A and B are shown apart, each in its own frame.
Chain A
Amino acid sequence: MNKLMTKRKNIETARMKRWFIGVKGNDGLLIRTLIYGLLIGIGFVYLFPVIYMVSFSFKSLEDLLNPLVNWIPSTLHLENFKQAYQVLDFFPTLFQTLYVTILPALAQTAVAALVGYGFARFSFRLKNFLFVLVMVTFIIPPQVTLIPRYLVYSELNLLGNIQAFLLPATFGQGLNSAIFILIFYQFFRSIPKTLEEAALLDGAGHFRIFFTIAIPMAVPAIIISFLFSFVWYWNETYLAAIFFGDQLTTLPLELQKFAASYQRMFPAGMEESASQLNEGIRLAGTVLSILPLLIVYFITQKWFVEGVDRSGITGE
Protein backbone atom coordinates (compact mmCIF):
# COMPACT_ATOMS: atom_id res chain seq x y z
CA MET A 1 0.00 0.00 0.00
CA ASN A 2 2.74 2.36 1.02
CA LYS A 3 4.61 1.55 -2.14
CA LEU A 4 1.64 2.55 -4.22
CA MET A 5 1.46 5.91 -2.44
CA THR A 6 5.07 6.76 -3.13
CA LYS A 7 4.60 5.72 -6.70
CA ARG A 8 1.66 8.04 -7.09
CA LYS A 9 3.62 10.83 -5.45
CA ASN A 10 6.45 10.24 -7.88
CA ILE A 11 4.06 10.50 -10.77
CA GLU A 12 2.74 13.77 -9.37
CA THR A 13 6.17 15.34 -9.13
CA ALA A 14 7.03 14.02 -12.54
CA ARG A 15 3.97 15.72 -13.96
CA MET A 16 4.91 18.99 -12.33
CA LYS A 17 8.39 18.68 -13.68
CA ARG A 18 7.07 17.92 -17.11
CA TRP A 19 4.90 20.99 -17.06
CA PHE A 20 7.76 23.24 -16.05
CA ILE A 21 10.88 21.80 -17.64
CA GLY A 22 9.34 19.30 -20.00
CA VAL A 23 10.38 15.81 -20.92
CA LYS A 24 11.67 15.87 -24.41
CA GLY A 25 12.73 19.44 -24.03
CA ASN A 26 9.73 20.75 -25.87
CA ASP A 27 6.84 20.76 -23.44
CA GLY A 28 8.05 22.72 -20.46
CA LEU A 29 7.41 26.40 -19.92
CA LEU A 30 11.00 27.17 -19.01
CA ILE A 31 12.50 25.38 -21.97
CA ARG A 32 9.92 26.80 -24.29
CA THR A 33 10.64 30.36 -23.21
CA LEU A 34 14.31 29.64 -23.71
CA ILE A 35 13.72 28.29 -27.22
CA TYR A 36 11.61 31.24 -28.28
CA GLY A 37 14.06 33.65 -26.68
CA LEU A 38 16.96 32.13 -28.56
CA LEU A 39 15.10 31.99 -31.87
CA ILE A 40 13.93 35.58 -31.61
CA GLY A 41 17.38 36.76 -30.56
CA ILE A 42 19.14 34.97 -33.39
CA GLY A 43 16.41 36.04 -35.78
CA PHE A 44 17.10 39.63 -34.84
CA VAL A 45 20.82 39.22 -35.48
CA TYR A 46 19.96 37.75 -38.86
CA LEU A 47 17.67 40.57 -39.79
CA PHE A 48 19.80 43.32 -38.26
CA PRO A 49 21.61 44.24 -41.50
CA VAL A 50 18.37 44.23 -43.46
CA ILE A 51 16.57 46.41 -40.94
CA TYR A 52 19.56 48.73 -40.79
CA MET A 53 19.69 48.88 -44.57
CA VAL A 54 16.03 49.77 -44.97
CA SER A 55 16.03 52.25 -42.09
CA PHE A 56 19.14 54.11 -43.22
CA SER A 57 18.12 54.18 -46.86
CA PHE A 58 15.29 56.52 -45.91
CA LYS A 59 17.48 58.88 -43.91
CA SER A 60 18.32 62.32 -45.14
CA LEU A 61 21.77 63.73 -44.51
CA GLU A 62 20.49 65.58 -41.43
CA ASP A 63 19.09 62.36 -40.01
CA LEU A 64 22.35 60.55 -40.68
CA LEU A 65 24.32 63.18 -38.84
CA ASN A 66 21.83 63.59 -36.02
CA PRO A 67 22.75 61.16 -33.23
CA LEU A 68 19.24 61.41 -31.81
CA VAL A 69 17.70 59.84 -34.89
CA ASN A 70 18.35 56.17 -34.42
CA TRP A 71 16.16 53.64 -36.18
CA ILE A 72 13.21 55.60 -37.41
CA PRO A 73 14.01 58.43 -39.84
CA SER A 74 12.36 61.74 -39.02
CA THR A 75 11.04 62.02 -42.57
CA LEU A 76 10.73 59.49 -45.34
CA HIS A 77 13.53 60.84 -47.45
CA LEU A 78 12.90 59.46 -50.93
CA GLU A 79 15.65 61.50 -52.57
CA ASN A 80 18.12 58.65 -51.78
CA PHE A 81 16.09 56.22 -53.80
CA LYS A 82 15.71 58.67 -56.64
CA GLN A 83 19.45 59.11 -56.92
CA ALA A 84 20.19 55.42 -56.43
CA TYR A 85 17.60 54.62 -59.08
CA GLN A 86 19.43 56.87 -61.54
CA VAL A 87 22.88 55.60 -60.62
CA LEU A 88 21.85 51.97 -61.01
CA ASP A 89 19.95 52.84 -64.18
CA PHE A 90 17.41 50.62 -62.54
CA PHE A 91 14.96 49.31 -65.12
CA PRO A 92 17.37 48.80 -68.03
CA THR A 93 19.78 47.05 -65.64
CA LEU A 94 16.97 44.99 -64.17
CA PHE A 95 15.92 43.75 -67.61
CA GLN A 96 19.50 42.84 -68.45
CA THR A 97 19.83 41.03 -65.14
CA LEU A 98 16.67 39.08 -65.82
CA TYR A 99 17.93 38.28 -69.30
CA VAL A 100 21.24 36.85 -68.11
CA THR A 101 19.71 34.96 -65.18
CA ILE A 102 16.43 33.56 -66.46
CA LEU A 103 17.77 32.06 -69.68
CA PRO A 104 20.69 30.17 -68.09
CA ALA A 105 18.43 29.09 -65.23
CA LEU A 106 15.90 27.67 -67.70
CA ALA A 107 18.59 25.89 -69.71
CA GLN A 108 20.19 24.55 -66.56
CA THR A 109 16.88 23.23 -65.24
CA ALA A 110 15.95 21.58 -68.54
CA VAL A 111 19.23 19.77 -68.93
CA ALA A 112 19.34 18.76 -65.26
CA ALA A 113 15.90 17.16 -65.68
CA LEU A 114 17.08 15.22 -68.73
CA VAL A 115 20.32 14.04 -67.15
CA GLY A 116 18.72 13.33 -63.79
CA TYR A 117 16.13 11.19 -65.55
CA GLY A 118 18.83 9.32 -67.41
CA PHE A 119 20.63 8.46 -64.20
CA ALA A 120 17.48 7.64 -62.26
CA ARG A 121 15.62 5.41 -64.71
CA PHE A 122 18.25 3.47 -66.58
CA SER A 123 21.08 1.22 -65.71
CA PHE A 124 24.05 1.30 -67.99
CA ARG A 125 27.75 0.75 -68.02
CA LEU A 126 29.83 3.27 -66.04
CA LYS A 127 26.68 4.68 -64.46
CA ASN A 128 28.10 4.82 -60.96
CA PHE A 129 31.38 6.20 -62.18
CA LEU A 130 29.65 8.92 -64.19
CA PHE A 131 27.37 9.83 -61.32
CA VAL A 132 30.31 10.23 -58.98
CA LEU A 133 31.91 12.40 -61.66
CA VAL A 134 28.80 14.60 -61.71
CA MET A 135 29.07 15.07 -57.96
CA VAL A 136 32.80 15.75 -58.14
CA THR A 137 32.22 18.69 -60.49
CA PHE A 138 30.58 20.43 -57.53
CA ILE A 139 33.88 20.84 -55.72
CA ILE A 140 35.89 22.11 -58.69
CA PRO A 141 36.32 25.84 -58.10
CA PRO A 142 35.06 27.84 -61.11
CA GLN A 143 38.35 29.75 -61.04
CA VAL A 144 40.22 26.74 -62.41
CA THR A 145 38.09 26.41 -65.51
CA LEU A 146 37.62 30.15 -65.79
CA ILE A 147 40.84 31.02 -67.61
CA PRO A 148 40.57 28.45 -70.41
CA ARG A 149 36.90 29.30 -70.81
CA TYR A 150 37.82 32.95 -71.02
CA LEU A 151 40.47 32.32 -73.67
CA VAL A 152 38.17 30.12 -75.74
CA TYR A 153 35.31 32.58 -75.47
CA SER A 154 37.56 35.40 -76.54
CA GLU A 155 38.66 33.35 -79.56
CA LEU A 156 35.03 32.65 -80.43
CA ASN A 157 33.99 36.23 -79.70
CA LEU A 158 31.58 35.14 -77.01
CA LEU A 159 32.79 37.55 -74.35
CA GLY A 160 30.19 40.11 -73.39
CA ASN A 161 27.60 37.72 -74.76
CA ILE A 162 25.00 35.79 -72.79
CA GLN A 163 26.38 32.62 -74.41
CA ALA A 164 29.22 32.78 -71.90
CA PHE A 165 26.66 31.78 -69.26
CA LEU A 166 24.17 30.00 -71.45
CA LEU A 167 26.47 27.50 -73.16
CA PRO A 168 27.85 25.80 -70.03
CA ALA A 169 24.36 25.82 -68.51
CA THR A 170 22.91 24.11 -71.58
CA PHE A 171 25.43 21.32 -71.21
CA GLY A 172 24.99 20.80 -67.51
CA GLN A 173 28.12 22.67 -66.43
CA GLY A 174 26.49 25.82 -65.09
CA LEU A 175 26.57 27.11 -61.52
CA ASN A 176 26.06 24.22 -59.12
CA SER A 177 24.66 22.02 -61.90
CA ALA A 178 25.54 18.95 -59.87
CA ILE A 179 22.99 19.90 -57.22
CA PHE A 180 20.20 20.24 -59.77
CA ILE A 181 21.03 16.92 -61.37
CA LEU A 182 20.90 15.40 -57.89
CA ILE A 183 17.47 16.95 -57.22
CA PHE A 184 16.00 15.48 -60.41
CA TYR A 185 17.76 12.18 -59.85
CA GLN A 186 16.15 11.83 -56.43
CA PHE A 187 12.81 12.95 -57.74
CA PHE A 188 12.62 10.62 -60.72
CA ARG A 189 13.81 7.68 -58.66
CA SER A 190 10.70 7.99 -56.54
CA ILE A 191 8.31 7.56 -59.47
CA PRO A 192 7.05 3.94 -59.56
CA LYS A 193 8.46 1.83 -62.37
CA THR A 194 5.05 0.39 -63.18
CA LEU A 195 3.92 3.64 -64.77
CA GLU A 196 6.79 3.50 -67.17
CA GLU A 197 6.22 -0.18 -67.91
CA ALA A 198 2.56 0.43 -68.68
CA ALA A 199 3.49 3.18 -71.09
CA LEU A 200 6.12 0.99 -72.73
CA LEU A 201 3.52 -1.72 -73.13
CA ASP A 202 1.33 0.79 -74.91
CA GLY A 203 4.16 1.38 -77.30
CA ALA A 204 5.45 4.73 -76.09
CA GLY A 205 9.13 5.49 -76.59
CA HIS A 206 11.42 6.56 -73.81
CA PHE A 207 11.49 10.19 -74.84
CA ARG A 208 7.74 10.24 -75.11
CA ILE A 209 7.47 8.81 -71.61
CA PHE A 210 9.91 11.45 -70.42
CA PHE A 211 7.95 14.31 -71.92
CA THR A 212 4.40 13.15 -71.33
CA ILE A 213 4.69 11.30 -68.02
CA ALA A 214 7.86 12.23 -66.18
CA ILE A 215 7.98 15.97 -66.87
CA PRO A 216 4.39 16.73 -65.82
CA MET A 217 5.01 14.85 -62.59
CA ALA A 218 8.25 16.71 -61.96
CA VAL A 219 6.73 20.19 -61.82
CA PRO A 220 7.76 20.73 -58.17
CA ALA A 221 11.35 19.74 -58.91
CA ILE A 222 11.34 22.00 -61.95
CA ILE A 223 10.15 24.99 -59.95
CA ILE A 224 12.67 24.36 -57.18
CA SER A 225 15.57 23.99 -59.61
CA PHE A 226 14.60 27.04 -61.56
CA LEU A 227 14.29 29.23 -58.47
CA PHE A 228 17.61 28.18 -56.98
CA SER A 229 19.31 28.48 -60.31
CA PHE A 230 17.79 31.90 -60.82
CA VAL A 231 19.01 33.21 -57.46
CA TRP A 232 22.49 31.75 -57.86
CA TYR A 233 22.92 33.23 -61.31
CA TRP A 234 21.59 36.54 -60.10
CA ASN A 235 24.09 36.72 -57.27
CA GLU A 236 27.02 35.57 -59.37
CA THR A 237 29.32 38.57 -59.86
CA TYR A 238 32.80 37.11 -60.13
CA LEU A 239 32.26 35.23 -63.38
CA ALA A 240 29.78 37.78 -64.68
CA ALA A 241 32.28 40.62 -64.33
CA ILE A 242 34.94 38.70 -66.26
CA PHE A 243 32.73 37.20 -68.96
CA PHE A 244 30.43 40.13 -69.60
CA GLY A 245 32.93 42.98 -69.41
CA ASP A 246 31.21 46.22 -70.30
CA GLN A 247 28.73 44.63 -72.68
CA LEU A 248 26.22 43.28 -70.22
CA THR A 249 25.58 44.24 -66.66
CA THR A 250 23.52 43.09 -63.72
CA LEU A 251 22.15 44.81 -60.64
CA PRO A 252 24.79 43.29 -58.32
CA LEU A 253 27.52 44.37 -60.75
CA GLU A 254 26.13 47.89 -60.85
CA LEU A 255 26.03 47.90 -57.07
CA GLN A 256 29.69 46.90 -57.05
CA LYS A 257 30.65 50.06 -58.90
CA PHE A 258 28.00 52.19 -57.28
CA ALA A 259 30.38 54.71 -55.74
CA ALA A 260 32.27 55.24 -58.99
CA SER A 261 29.08 55.62 -61.03
CA TYR A 262 27.74 58.04 -58.49
CA GLN A 263 30.80 60.27 -58.70
CA ARG A 264 30.47 60.30 -62.46
CA MET A 265 26.80 61.14 -62.39
CA PHE A 266 26.87 63.69 -59.58
CA PRO A 267 30.37 65.16 -59.58
CA ALA A 268 31.38 66.49 -56.18
CA GLY A 269 31.33 70.22 -55.67
CA MET A 270 29.01 70.88 -58.57
CA GLU A 271 25.88 71.52 -56.59
CA GLU A 272 25.02 71.94 -52.97
CA SER A 273 25.86 69.33 -50.35
CA ALA A 274 22.97 67.10 -51.43
CA SER A 275 25.12 65.69 -54.17
CA GLN A 276 27.60 64.04 -51.81
CA LEU A 277 27.46 60.29 -51.74
CA ASN A 278 26.40 59.24 -48.28
CA GLU A 279 25.48 56.08 -46.44
CA GLY A 280 21.79 56.65 -47.09
CA ILE A 281 22.19 56.74 -50.86
CA ARG A 282 24.48 53.72 -50.93
CA LEU A 283 22.08 51.71 -48.82
CA ALA A 284 19.17 52.83 -50.99
CA GLY A 285 21.14 51.38 -53.91
CA THR A 286 21.66 48.15 -52.00
CA VAL A 287 17.97 47.94 -51.16
CA LEU A 288 17.00 48.57 -54.78
CA SER A 289 19.40 45.91 -56.03
CA ILE A 290 18.00 43.20 -53.75
CA LEU A 291 14.37 44.30 -53.97
CA PRO A 292 13.50 42.06 -56.94
CA LEU A 293 15.02 39.07 -55.16
CA LEU A 294 13.12 39.89 -51.98
CA ILE A 295 9.86 40.01 -53.90
CA VAL A 296 10.58 36.69 -55.58
CA TYR A 297 11.56 35.18 -52.24
CA PHE A 298 8.46 36.27 -50.39
CA ILE A 299 6.20 34.89 -53.09
CA THR A 300 8.02 31.61 -53.47
CA GLN A 301 9.74 31.00 -50.13
CA LYS A 302 7.91 27.70 -49.58
CA TRP A 303 9.60 26.30 -52.64
CA PHE A 304 13.03 27.29 -51.42
CA VAL A 305 12.51 25.70 -48.06
CA GLU A 306 11.04 22.55 -49.57
CA GLY A 307 13.79 22.55 -52.14
CA VAL A 308 16.41 21.75 -49.56
CA ASP A 309 14.08 19.10 -48.16
CA ARG A 310 13.67 17.53 -51.55
CA SER A 311 17.19 17.90 -52.76
CA GLY A 312 17.66 14.32 -51.74
CA ILE A 313 21.03 14.90 -50.08
CA THR A 314 19.40 13.89 -46.84
CA GLY A 315 18.75 10.48 -48.36
CA GLU A 316 15.51 8.59 -48.55
Chain B
Amino acid sequence: MAKVLKKRPKPSIAYLFIAPWIIGFIAFTAFPLLYSLYLSFHKVSLTTEGIKTNYVSFENFQYAFTVDGVFMNYLIVFFRELLISVPIIIVFSLIIALLLNQKIRLRGLFRTIFFLPVIIASGPVLKELQDMGVTTIPSIEEVFIYSLASDNADQFIFGILLYVLDNIIMILWYSGVQILIFLAVLQKIDRQIYEAAMIDGASTWEIFWKVTLPSIFPMIVVNTIYTIVAYSIFSLNPIIEHIKVQMFELDTGFGYASALSWVYFVIIGLILILVFVIMNSQSKKRYAS
Protein backbone atom coordinates (compact mmCIF):
# COMPACT_ATOMS: atom_id res chain seq x y z
CA MET B 1 0.00 0.00 0.00
CA ALA B 2 2.77 2.35 0.97
CA LYS B 3 4.43 1.65 -2.32
CA VAL B 4 1.34 2.66 -4.25
CA LEU B 5 1.04 5.86 -2.32
CA LYS B 6 4.62 6.69 -3.05
CA LYS B 7 4.00 6.15 -6.72
CA ARG B 8 1.04 8.53 -6.78
CA PRO B 9 1.33 11.05 -9.61
CA LYS B 10 4.28 13.23 -8.93
CA PRO B 11 3.82 16.86 -9.92
CA SER B 12 7.14 16.93 -11.73
CA ILE B 13 5.87 14.36 -14.21
CA ALA B 14 2.74 16.39 -14.81
CA TYR B 15 4.91 19.30 -15.86
CA LEU B 16 6.59 17.05 -18.42
CA PHE B 17 3.19 16.40 -19.98
CA ILE B 18 2.22 20.03 -20.23
CA ALA B 19 5.73 21.32 -20.93
CA PRO B 20 5.21 21.54 -24.72
CA TRP B 21 2.26 23.81 -24.17
CA ILE B 22 4.09 26.01 -21.67
CA ILE B 23 7.06 26.40 -24.02
CA GLY B 24 4.74 27.08 -26.92
CA PHE B 25 2.72 29.56 -24.92
CA ILE B 26 5.82 31.55 -24.03
CA ALA B 27 7.36 31.37 -27.50
CA PHE B 28 4.33 31.66 -29.76
CA THR B 29 1.75 33.53 -27.71
CA ALA B 30 3.09 35.44 -24.70
CA PHE B 31 6.25 36.75 -26.34
CA PRO B 32 4.49 37.76 -29.61
CA LEU B 33 1.77 39.47 -27.60
CA LEU B 34 4.25 41.57 -25.67
CA TYR B 35 6.43 42.12 -28.69
CA SER B 36 3.54 43.40 -30.76
CA LEU B 37 2.57 45.69 -27.88
CA TYR B 38 6.15 46.97 -27.94
CA LEU B 39 6.05 47.37 -31.72
CA SER B 40 2.81 49.28 -31.52
CA PHE B 41 4.69 52.15 -29.87
CA HIS B 42 7.33 52.14 -32.57
CA LYS B 43 7.87 52.86 -36.19
CA VAL B 44 9.16 49.60 -37.62
CA SER B 45 11.15 49.21 -40.76
CA LEU B 46 12.68 46.12 -42.26
CA THR B 47 16.21 46.75 -43.44
CA THR B 48 18.86 44.45 -44.76
CA GLU B 49 20.50 44.39 -41.33
CA GLY B 50 17.27 43.39 -39.68
CA ILE B 51 14.37 45.06 -37.94
CA LYS B 52 14.72 48.71 -37.04
CA THR B 53 12.45 50.32 -34.48
CA ASN B 54 11.99 53.99 -33.63
CA TYR B 55 10.06 54.95 -30.53
CA VAL B 56 7.09 57.11 -31.48
CA SER B 57 5.06 57.04 -28.26
CA PHE B 58 1.30 57.00 -28.91
CA GLU B 59 1.55 58.25 -32.46
CA ASN B 60 0.32 54.99 -34.00
CA PHE B 61 -2.76 54.92 -31.83
CA GLN B 62 -3.41 58.57 -32.45
CA TYR B 63 -3.20 57.96 -36.17
CA ALA B 64 -5.62 55.05 -35.92
CA PHE B 65 -8.29 57.06 -34.16
CA THR B 66 -7.89 60.40 -35.89
CA VAL B 67 -6.40 60.06 -39.36
CA ASP B 68 -7.22 56.51 -40.40
CA GLY B 69 -10.91 56.99 -41.07
CA VAL B 70 -11.14 53.63 -42.81
CA PHE B 71 -10.23 51.75 -39.65
CA MET B 72 -12.74 53.63 -37.50
CA ASN B 73 -15.36 53.09 -40.13
CA TYR B 74 -14.68 49.35 -40.26
CA LEU B 75 -14.82 49.18 -36.48
CA ILE B 76 -18.23 50.81 -36.39
CA VAL B 77 -19.54 48.55 -39.14
CA PHE B 78 -18.08 45.50 -37.39
CA PHE B 79 -19.66 46.50 -34.12
CA ARG B 80 -23.05 47.01 -35.72
CA GLU B 81 -22.93 43.72 -37.59
CA LEU B 82 -21.87 41.91 -34.44
CA LEU B 83 -24.76 43.44 -32.53
CA ILE B 84 -27.23 42.29 -35.17
CA SER B 85 -25.77 38.94 -36.15
CA VAL B 86 -24.84 37.39 -32.82
CA PRO B 87 -28.34 37.43 -31.27
CA ILE B 88 -29.80 36.14 -34.53
CA ILE B 89 -27.26 33.32 -34.73
CA ILE B 90 -27.87 32.34 -31.10
CA VAL B 91 -31.67 32.42 -31.29
CA PHE B 92 -31.69 30.72 -34.65
CA SER B 93 -29.34 27.92 -33.64
CA LEU B 94 -31.35 27.38 -30.46
CA ILE B 95 -34.56 27.07 -32.48
CA ILE B 96 -32.98 24.56 -34.86
CA ALA B 97 -31.56 22.60 -31.95
CA LEU B 98 -34.99 22.51 -30.30
CA LEU B 99 -36.53 21.28 -33.55
CA LEU B 100 -33.88 18.61 -33.93
CA ASN B 101 -34.35 17.57 -30.33
CA GLN B 102 -37.91 16.44 -31.06
CA LYS B 103 -38.61 12.85 -31.91
CA ILE B 104 -38.09 13.16 -35.63
CA ARG B 105 -36.90 10.94 -38.38
CA LEU B 106 -33.78 11.77 -40.37
CA ARG B 107 -32.29 13.72 -37.52
CA GLY B 108 -28.86 12.57 -38.67
CA LEU B 109 -29.46 13.89 -42.18
CA PHE B 110 -30.57 17.29 -40.91
CA ARG B 111 -27.61 17.52 -38.58
CA THR B 112 -25.32 16.70 -41.48
CA ILE B 113 -26.88 19.47 -43.56
CA PHE B 114 -26.71 22.09 -40.82
CA PHE B 115 -23.10 21.29 -40.05
CA LEU B 116 -21.97 21.24 -43.67
CA PRO B 117 -21.12 24.97 -43.84
CA VAL B 118 -18.62 24.58 -41.01
CA ILE B 119 -16.69 22.27 -43.30
CA ILE B 120 -16.78 24.16 -46.57
CA ALA B 121 -17.24 27.83 -45.68
CA SER B 122 -13.73 29.17 -46.00
CA GLY B 123 -13.22 32.84 -46.79
CA PRO B 124 -12.61 32.44 -50.54
CA VAL B 125 -15.62 30.15 -50.99
CA LEU B 126 -17.92 32.62 -49.25
CA LYS B 127 -16.37 35.43 -51.26
CA GLU B 128 -17.19 33.65 -54.50
CA LEU B 129 -20.74 33.02 -53.36
CA GLN B 130 -21.12 36.63 -52.26
CA ASP B 131 -19.89 37.87 -55.63
CA MET B 132 -22.49 35.74 -57.35
CA GLY B 133 -25.17 36.99 -55.00
CA VAL B 134 -25.94 33.52 -53.71
CA THR B 135 -25.80 34.47 -50.05
CA THR B 136 -29.43 35.47 -50.15
CA ILE B 137 -32.53 33.83 -51.51
CA PRO B 138 -33.65 36.28 -54.20
CA SER B 139 -37.36 35.57 -54.12
CA ILE B 140 -37.66 35.85 -50.35
CA GLU B 141 -35.75 39.08 -50.40
CA GLU B 142 -37.96 40.67 -53.04
CA VAL B 143 -41.13 39.82 -51.20
CA PHE B 144 -39.81 41.24 -47.97
CA ILE B 145 -38.43 44.41 -49.47
CA TYR B 146 -41.62 45.22 -51.29
CA SER B 147 -43.82 44.61 -48.30
CA LEU B 148 -41.47 46.62 -46.11
CA ALA B 149 -41.01 49.49 -48.49
CA SER B 150 -44.74 49.87 -48.82
CA ASP B 151 -45.06 49.89 -45.05
CA ASN B 152 -42.75 52.93 -44.96
CA ALA B 153 -41.23 51.36 -41.88
CA ASP B 154 -38.68 52.93 -39.63
CA GLN B 155 -35.47 53.59 -41.55
CA PHE B 156 -33.31 52.08 -38.81
CA ILE B 157 -35.24 48.84 -38.55
CA PHE B 158 -35.46 48.69 -42.31
CA GLY B 159 -31.68 48.93 -42.53
CA ILE B 160 -31.22 46.07 -40.08
CA LEU B 161 -33.75 43.90 -41.87
CA LEU B 162 -32.12 44.61 -45.19
CA TYR B 163 -28.73 43.61 -43.82
CA VAL B 164 -30.15 40.41 -42.39
CA LEU B 165 -31.89 39.53 -45.64
CA ASP B 166 -28.81 40.31 -47.69
CA ASN B 167 -26.72 38.03 -45.55
CA ILE B 168 -29.27 35.49 -44.45
CA ILE B 169 -27.28 32.53 -45.68
CA MET B 170 -24.02 33.87 -44.27
CA ILE B 171 -25.68 34.25 -40.88
CA LEU B 172 -27.20 30.79 -41.05
CA TRP B 173 -23.92 29.33 -42.17
CA TYR B 174 -22.22 30.65 -39.06
CA SER B 175 -24.51 28.58 -36.84
CA GLY B 176 -23.30 25.02 -37.43
CA VAL B 177 -21.20 24.52 -34.33
CA GLN B 178 -23.68 26.36 -32.12
CA ILE B 179 -26.58 24.15 -33.23
CA LEU B 180 -24.67 21.01 -32.30
CA ILE B 181 -23.60 22.43 -28.95
CA PHE B 182 -27.20 23.31 -28.09
CA LEU B 183 -28.42 19.93 -29.28
CA ALA B 184 -25.83 18.14 -27.17
CA VAL B 185 -26.85 19.97 -24.02
CA LEU B 186 -30.56 19.61 -24.74
CA GLN B 187 -30.15 15.89 -24.92
CA LYS B 188 -28.47 15.84 -21.55
CA ILE B 189 -31.43 17.39 -19.73
CA ASP B 190 -33.04 14.77 -17.55
CA ARG B 191 -36.35 13.59 -19.04
CA GLN B 192 -37.75 13.21 -15.54
CA ILE B 193 -37.71 16.95 -14.99
CA TYR B 194 -40.02 17.38 -17.98
CA GLU B 195 -42.29 14.64 -16.76
CA ALA B 196 -42.47 16.16 -13.32
CA ALA B 197 -43.25 19.58 -14.77
CA MET B 198 -45.98 18.12 -16.94
CA ILE B 199 -47.56 16.29 -14.05
CA ASP B 200 -47.64 19.61 -12.24
CA GLY B 201 -49.62 20.94 -15.20
CA ALA B 202 -47.01 23.10 -16.89
CA SER B 203 -47.53 23.83 -20.58
CA THR B 204 -44.89 23.29 -23.23
CA TRP B 205 -44.37 27.03 -23.38
CA GLU B 206 -43.86 27.29 -19.61
CA ILE B 207 -41.57 24.29 -19.61
CA PHE B 208 -39.38 25.95 -22.22
CA TRP B 209 -38.95 29.14 -20.22
CA LYS B 210 -38.80 27.60 -16.76
CA VAL B 211 -36.95 24.33 -17.36
CA THR B 212 -35.19 24.21 -20.71
CA LEU B 213 -33.83 27.72 -20.88
CA PRO B 214 -32.34 27.83 -17.37
CA SER B 215 -30.65 24.48 -17.85
CA ILE B 216 -29.02 25.45 -21.13
CA PHE B 217 -28.17 28.99 -20.08
CA PRO B 218 -24.46 28.31 -19.54
CA MET B 219 -24.29 27.04 -23.12
CA ILE B 220 -25.93 30.21 -24.38
CA VAL B 221 -23.03 32.09 -22.80
CA VAL B 222 -20.49 29.69 -24.32
CA ASN B 223 -22.09 29.93 -27.74
CA THR B 224 -22.24 33.70 -27.61
CA ILE B 225 -18.55 33.88 -26.81
CA TYR B 226 -17.74 31.34 -29.49
CA THR B 227 -19.79 33.26 -32.05
CA ILE B 228 -18.15 36.58 -31.25
CA VAL B 229 -14.66 35.07 -31.46
CA ALA B 230 -15.38 33.19 -34.69
CA TYR B 231 -16.98 36.26 -36.22
CA SER B 232 -14.16 38.58 -35.32
CA ILE B 233 -11.36 36.46 -36.73
CA PHE B 234 -13.11 35.30 -39.89
CA SER B 235 -10.96 36.06 -42.91
CA LEU B 236 -13.63 38.11 -44.69
CA ASN B 237 -13.74 40.56 -41.80
CA PRO B 238 -12.64 43.93 -43.26
CA ILE B 239 -10.76 44.92 -40.10
CA ILE B 240 -8.31 42.04 -40.20
CA GLU B 241 -7.94 42.62 -43.93
CA HIS B 242 -7.11 46.24 -43.14
CA ILE B 243 -4.49 45.14 -40.60
CA LYS B 244 -2.93 42.91 -43.24
CA VAL B 245 -2.84 45.72 -45.80
CA GLN B 246 -1.22 48.11 -43.31
CA MET B 247 1.47 45.54 -42.51
CA PHE B 248 2.95 45.87 -45.96
CA GLU B 249 2.21 49.55 -46.45
CA LEU B 250 5.44 51.54 -46.54
CA ASP B 251 4.46 54.65 -44.57
CA THR B 252 2.63 52.72 -41.84
CA GLY B 253 4.12 49.25 -41.65
CA PHE B 254 4.42 46.68 -38.89
CA GLY B 255 4.36 49.14 -36.03
CA TYR B 256 1.07 50.65 -37.08
CA ALA B 257 -0.43 47.25 -37.91
CA SER B 258 0.57 46.06 -34.43
CA ALA B 259 -1.17 49.05 -32.90
CA LEU B 260 -4.31 48.27 -34.91
CA SER B 261 -4.26 44.63 -33.90
CA TRP B 262 -3.94 45.60 -30.26
CA VAL B 263 -6.78 48.07 -30.48
CA TYR B 264 -8.87 45.35 -32.08
CA PHE B 265 -7.83 42.79 -29.47
CA VAL B 266 -8.72 45.13 -26.59
CA ILE B 267 -12.09 45.95 -28.14
CA ILE B 268 -12.97 42.28 -28.64
CA GLY B 269 -11.76 41.55 -25.12
CA LEU B 270 -13.97 44.32 -23.70
CA ILE B 271 -16.97 43.10 -25.68
CA LEU B 272 -16.43 39.55 -24.42
CA ILE B 273 -16.04 40.68 -20.81
CA LEU B 274 -19.12 42.87 -21.10
CA VAL B 275 -21.19 40.06 -22.60
CA PHE B 276 -19.98 37.61 -19.98
CA VAL B 277 -20.70 39.92 -17.06
CA ILE B 278 -24.14 40.93 -18.34
CA MET B 279 -25.21 37.38 -19.10
CA ASN B 280 -23.90 36.07 -15.80
CA SER B 281 -25.68 38.69 -13.74
CA GLN B 282 -28.84 38.07 -15.74
CA SER B 283 -28.70 34.38 -15.03
CA LYS B 284 -28.12 35.00 -11.34
CA LYS B 285 -30.99 37.43 -11.14
CA ARG B 286 -33.39 35.26 -13.01
CA TYR B 287 -32.46 31.74 -12.14
CA ALA B 288 -31.23 32.09 -8.59
CA SER B 289 -32.89 29.31 -6.69
Contacts and interface: CB of A to CB of B under 8 A. Distances in A.
Interface of A: 23-27, 32, 35-36, 38-39, 42-43, 45-50, 52-53, 56, 111, 114-115, 117-119, 121-125, 127, 130, 133-134, 137-152, 154-155, 167-168, 170-173, 181, 197, 200-201, 206-207, 210, 231, 234-238, 242, 252-253, 255-256, 258, 279, 282-283, 285-286, 289-290, 293-294, 296-297, 301, 304-305, 308-309, 311, 313-315
Given A144-B33, A304-B119, 4 more contacts: A137-B25, A144-B32, A171-B27, A314-B181
A133 B18 CA distance: 12
Nearest to B178: A308
B4 A234 contact: no
Interface string B232-255: 110100001001100100000010
Contacts of A252: 122-125
Contacts of B41: none
A253 B120 CA distance: 14
A52 to B, nearest CB: 5
A148 B32 contact: yes
B86 interface: no
Main secondary structure on chain B at its contact with chain A? helix
A134 B22 CA distance: 9
A181 B194 contact: no
B173 A46 contact: yes
8 contacts: A25-B204, A35-B99, A43-B114, A123-B14, A147-B32, A237-B235, A305-B108, A308-B184
A256 B123 contact: yes
B29 A173 contact: yes
B159 interface: no
A94 B110 CA distance: 29
B84 interface: no
Given A114-B17, A173-B25, A38 B99 contact: yes
Interface string B115-134: 11111111111011101101
A308 B218 contact: no
A171 B30 CA distance: 13
B213 interface: no
Interface stretch (B64-72, B147-155, B260-268, B277-285): B260-268
A43 to B, nearest CB: 5
A199 to B, nearest CB: 10
Contacts of A234: 122
A13 to B, nearest CB: 16
Interface in B120-176: 120-125, 127-129, 131-132, 134-135, 137, 168-169, 172-173
B264 A139 contact: no
B111 to A, nearest CB: 5
A210 B137 CA distance: 52
Contact of A151 (B112, B185, B254): B254
Nearest to A117: B17
B28 interface: yes
B86 to A, nearest CB: 15
A235 B122 contact: yes
A308 B258 CA distance: 34
Contacts of B29: 137, 140, 145, 173
Contacts of B25: 133, 137, 171-173
A149 B24 CA distance: 12
B28 A173 contact: yes
- Among B4, B29, B113, max chain A CB count under 10 A is at B29
A301 B119 CA distance: 10
Contacts of B82: none
